[in-house]
A = this chain, B = another copy of it.
């Protein structure tokens, strides 16, 4: 593997990666993001995601990281760069990592001409990057592979969200900048609002799992916006203890999405 050595902070590539690492907006604009570590690199290699560059930390990348870097370069034809420790640390999303970071092209799917019949998860104003990543991971694990997010949500392809997603991004189709009113044009599915303030009992109400669904989750604190609630077909409440106000949005999504999965698995079993 040929490594291009970067030792100067004036290097154009370096400046580009630094921007990606520091600003989600820069990621959107460049159509690219940064993925750190062995696990993400392996997932990216497996999914054949378009790698633009492989970044290696000088003198400190682990043998495993170097071997994986070689494999990615061979498989994708991406250029590999060796960065001095201080330069690498300024562009890497993780403080004490294994010394490999990839620049990856963001997969921005085209909006469909007519609504797609599939299950989806909608994030309405979820700004916490850890929560956003966990939500994508939970959705994909539950069998829901389409993710949509409002303009007020975190950039789902930012390095931090990518990291919290643990690779789930590459098994998902991610639509950003989707207004609640546009959901009906995107998905041919019933829109179910998870609302801590009221609605039907998630566990006791029947039939909502039939057909395709879009589960809509709001931000920590405010919950779903009025516009999102108006765009919903029905509202559901997770029956929590009275003394508690609400669940963390990641926990709430896990409960809704896995109750959906449970019902479908059990129904499939009964039909067999």
By a beta-carbon cutoff of 8 Å, the part of chain A in contact with chain B is 130, 134, 137-138, 140-143, 164, 166, 168, 171, 203-204, 238-241, 243-248, 250-255, 258-259, 261-262, 265-266, 269
Contact = CB atoms under 8 A, between A and B. Distances in A.
B137 A248 contact: yes
A251 B137 contact: yes
Given A254-B254, A255-B254, A248 B134 contact: yes
Contacts of A254: 247, 250-252, 254-255
Contacts of A130: 130
Nearest to A247: B141
A262 B255 CA distance: 10
6 contacts: A138-B247, A140-B241, A143-B241, A164-B248, A203-B262, A251-B254
A202 B248 CA distance: 22
Contacts of A137: 244, 247-248, 251
B251 A134 contact: yes
A266 B203 CA distance: 8
A168 B254 CA distance: 19
Contacts of A248: 134, 137-138, 164, 166, 250
Contact of A243 (B140, B241, B252, B255): B140
A31 to B, nearest CB: 25
A251 B254 CA distance: 5
Nearest to A135: B251
Contact of A261 (B168, B239, B252, B261): B239
A253 B248 CA distance: 12
Contacts of A258: 238, 255, 259
Contacts of A138: 247-248, 251
Contacts of A142: 240-241
Contact of A134 (B164, B241, B250, B255): B250
Contacts of A245: 166
